[in-house]
């Protein structure tokens, strides 16, 4: 018999394990470590204490606890909270299975087991962890919301200040049409505005209280669940006790939102990686968000952007992985759900740091107007020639073909379209007149995009103002 097996046979569950009474044999030490979650869910210590105080108050109001017993529990938990806050809480390995066990064990040491032992009356760890998770995720998402607001403020500020800069807009990574640098910034501002609205929805959807649902069937002591929900800041109750203890949709919604957000982050990071390369040189990252090479001293690597891009993949994996863990589970609580703890902790850390890093990158990068202007080239104005003829009544499908022939002529002549003479243009189509020269002006081309959402100065400023409204009121269009 192995040492592990001997220990299993000889040991018994610790008395303060919340489930120990039915068992006569102990756990394999490997299973003990495999099962424990305190190393992760200790992050929820404050929420667990808040929920326990609210639960004790409800039990006092239901006549389960006396006023004095409740005061002792509240006093004891505030002492426990202080220990966590000062990093003086002593975890007892093999005894403290999770944050619920640890907090209740320590409460008993402070106020005595006679009173502390009444705390868990009518409550299960099933509704307890569901409550802790909702409270903790809500608090963290509100912090992320503040970081997202800071990111949007930087985008708005830079878009407003850099509105005169023009650069090529790209499709398929090919030069397409001239746009304002601010318009490019605001394209991501629009993405993050959608994320802002989506985050508000996620926070709203998780703000329901499961506490009082018990293990699955509800509470027999007629506690006031609504009073508990109000004390903990929930807007309403989870409707059904069986669903309440097993619902982890709010974690999936958080991770799903994180996947969408990080997809947008990865795209702006990719653009900036390209724009900061020596081949483009449109922007330069601050030293605070770059690193060098251990071999090549001339290198300045956009590590912050590459990490943002890479961590988006991590976020997608967390979301899909936990979704698979939940898929096809039977009803009510199952231990598989514990996998959500590590996933949500990583998710929140990743989203919090990524939002702050991107904000730092955007607020400190410098632009190169000269490099942007140098990248503009006449073939990007081919659509201007087509639109010129449209204004003369020529069908667009025909003007598109004519403009393509002008591009071909310029390539054949080895010169830019703006260097072709009016006579050469008229050789392609007689309807070109001397005013066609106005098509070869990048600023004018940009300013002709006057429809809402376009890159003309006035329309870009409207987008700036729309994001300002979002930041002030939380409301903005698509």
CB atoms within 10 A of CB 236: 11
For residues 423-453, one letter each, b for 16 or more C-beta atoms within 10 angstroms of the residue's C-beta and e for the rest, the string is ebbeebbeebeeebeebbebeebbbebeeeb
Q: Which long-range contacts (CB under 8 A, 24 or more apart) does 9-16 make?
A: 14/94, 14/95, 16/95, 16/101, 16/104, 16/105, 16/108
* Number of helices (H), then strands (E), in the chain: 20, 6
**HEC secondary structure over 388-446:** HHHCCCCCHHHHHHHHHHHHHHHHHHCCCHHHCCHHHHHHHCCCCCHHHHHHHCHHHHH
> Distance of CA 253 to CAs 128, 308, 319, Å?
20, 21, 9
Q: Are 470 and 152 in contact (CB under 8 A)?
A: yes
Query: Looking at 277, 293, 320, 331, which residue is catalytic?
Result: 293
Taking 3-state DSSP, the helix, strand and coil percentages for the chain, each rounded to the nearest 5, stand at: 65, 5, 30
**Cβ neighbours of residue 401 under 8 Å, at least 6 residues apart?**
none
Number of C-beta neighbours around residue 477 at 10 A: 11
293 included as an active-site residue = yes
Q: State the catalytic residue, choosing from 88, 172, 294, 434.
A: 172
Q: How far is CA 44 from the centre of its chain?
A: 20
- Assess whether 172 carries a catalytic annotation: yes
Bridge partners of residue 208, in order along the sequence: 236
Cα torsion 162, 163, 167, 173 to 10°: value is 90
Token pair of 156 as six digits = 């708005």
CA distances from 419 to 377, 379, 395, 413, 416 (A): 12, 11, 26, 10, 5
Of the candidates 278, 266, 273, the one whose C-alpha atom is nearest the C-alpha of residue 303 is: 273
381 close to 440: Cβ distance less than 8 angstroms: yes
Instruction: Identify the helix (H) or strand (E) that includes residue 209.
Output: strand 208-209
For residue 46 the two structure tokens come to: 């404050």
- Cα separation, 478 vs 475, whole angstroms: 10
Whose CA is closest to 417, among 456, 376, 473? 376
Q: Which positions are annotated as active-site residues? A: 172, 293
């Amino acid at each position: 018999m192995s040492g592990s097996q001997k220990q299993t046979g000889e040991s018994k569950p610790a008395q303060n394990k919340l489930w120990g009474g039915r068992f006569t044999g102990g756990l394999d030490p490997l299973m003990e470590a495999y099962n424990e979650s305190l190393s992760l869910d200790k992050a929820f210590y404050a929420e667990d204490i808040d929920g326990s105080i609210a639960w004790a108050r409800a039990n006092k109001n239901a006549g389960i606890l006396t006023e004095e017993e409740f005061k002792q529990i509240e006093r004891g938990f505030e002492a426990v909270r202080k220990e966590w806050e000062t990093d003086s809480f002593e975890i007892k390995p093999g005894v403290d299975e999770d944050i619920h066990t640890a907090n209740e064990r320590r409460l008993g040491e402070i106020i005595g087991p006679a009173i502390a032992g009444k705390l868990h009356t009518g409550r299960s760890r099933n509704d307890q962890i569901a409550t802790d998770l909702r409270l903790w995720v809500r608090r963290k998402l509100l912090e992320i919301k503040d970081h997202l607001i800071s990111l949007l403020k930087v985008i708005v500020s830079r878009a407003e200040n850099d509105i005169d800069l023009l650069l090529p807009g790209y499709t398929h990574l090919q030069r397409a049409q001239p746009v304002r640098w601010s318009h490019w910034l605001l394209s991501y501002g629009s993405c993050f505005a959608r994320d802002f609205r989506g985050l508000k929805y996620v926070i709203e959807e998780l703000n329901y209280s499961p506490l009082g649902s018990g293990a699955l069937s509800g509470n027999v002591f007629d506690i006031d669940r609504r009073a508990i929900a109000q004390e903990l800041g929930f807007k309403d109750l989870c409707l059904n006790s069986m669903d309440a203890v097993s619902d982890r949709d709010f974690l999936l919604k958080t991770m799903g939102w994180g996947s969408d957000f990080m997809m947008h982050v990865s795209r702006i990071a990719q653009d900036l990686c390209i724009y900061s390369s020596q081949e483009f040189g449109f922007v330069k990252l601050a030293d605070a968000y770059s690193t060098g090479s251990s071999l090549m001293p001339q290198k300045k690597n956009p590590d912050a952007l590459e990490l943002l891009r890479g961590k988006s993949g991590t976020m997608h994996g967390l979301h899909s992985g936990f979704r698979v863990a939940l898929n096809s589970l039977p009803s009510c609580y199952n231990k598989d759900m514990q996998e959500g703890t590590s996933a949500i902790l990583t998710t929140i850390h990743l989203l919090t740091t990524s939002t702050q890093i991107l904000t730092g990158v955007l607020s400190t990068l410098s632009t190169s107007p000269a490099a942007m202007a140098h990248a503009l080239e006449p073939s990007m104005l081919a659509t201007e020639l087509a639109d010129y003829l449209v204004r003369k009544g020529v069908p667009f499908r025909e003007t598109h073909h004519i403009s393509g022939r002008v591009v071909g002529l310029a390539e054949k002549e080895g010169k830019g379209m703006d260097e072709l003479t009016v006579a050469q243009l008229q050789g392609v189509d007689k309807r070109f007149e001397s005013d066609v020269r106005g098509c070869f002006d990048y600023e004018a081309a940009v300013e002709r995009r006057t429809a809402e959402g376009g890159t003309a100065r006035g329309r870009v400023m409207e987008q700036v103002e729309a994001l300002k409204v979002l930041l002030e009121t939380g409301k903005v269009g698509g």
